Copies of this chain bind each other. A is one copy, B any other.
Amino acid sequence: MHLDLNCDMGESFGAYQIGDDEGVMPHITSANVACGFHGGDPAVMRRTLRLARANGVAVGAHPGFQDLAGFGRRDLRVTPQEAEDLVLYQVGALEAMARAEGVRLAHVKPHGALYNMAAREEPLAEAIARAIRAFDPSLVLFALAGSRLQRAAEAVGVRVAPEGFADRSYEPDGSLTPRSKPDALIHDAQLVVQRAVRMAREGLVSASDGRDIPIRIRTLCVHGDTPGAATLARELHAGLERAGVIVRAPGATG
């Protein structure tokens, strides 16, 4: 029974700091490094790669829409070809920085609106899968468990780590409760840990109507921009291990 803890990292930009990368990094096993479009810049990317390396954390690319003003969180009507190209471009940019730092890329997790749109829209999902396969078929794609993105990637032979969110409410159909609804976010740390353990051990999560739904995940998202992110990451890591779950990156061995 293995689970990966991933967190978005390196989203600072120039003079702007965001997130508590140094506090969170020691407690996660995969870092999704922003690639300069929705956040991050070449200097931040290098710094983040070094921080991940120093903590033995696996590194992945975290490509997003070219919308720094909206932090990549606003839906942007790109074509599938545009999506494919922007993923390739950003993964390649990060890979170059990683190569210079002696770090090997292990995964790709699309960011924000790109992640959400690709979870729903097959043409975008296929485009992202094509980009990964063309760049390096050994990269693992982090995709919302059960989404079109997961299926599109698997269909073309890209390995997927299905992703869960222990601090988000799920709808009975397995989708995430929209943030606009009350109770979409779960703030109680103990409950978050419990839900994580249950997802990992039993493959179940309690949905918004109270009933259990099946969920098969290989990685769990830790939100790095919430207050107390480092503490929650530490508690998740410890709680999972206490429950007998081995916390490690998808590609890690041992």
Contacts and interface: CB of A to CB of B under 8 A. Distances in A.
Given A66-B69, A69-B66, A74-B76, A99 B16 contact: no
A68 B41 CA distance: 11
Contacts of A75: 75-77
A interface SS class: helix
Interface in A83-99: 85-86, 88-97, 99
A193 to B, nearest CB: 27
A74 B77 contact: yes
A156 interface: no
Contact of A76 (B46, B77, B95, B135): B77
A134 B43 contact: no
A100 B130 CA distance: 9
A92 B81 contact: no
A128 to B, nearest CB: 13
Contact of A71 (B14, B85, B88): B14
A123 interface: no
A-B pairs with the 4 shortest C-beta distances? A92-B96, A42-B85, A16-B16, A100-B134
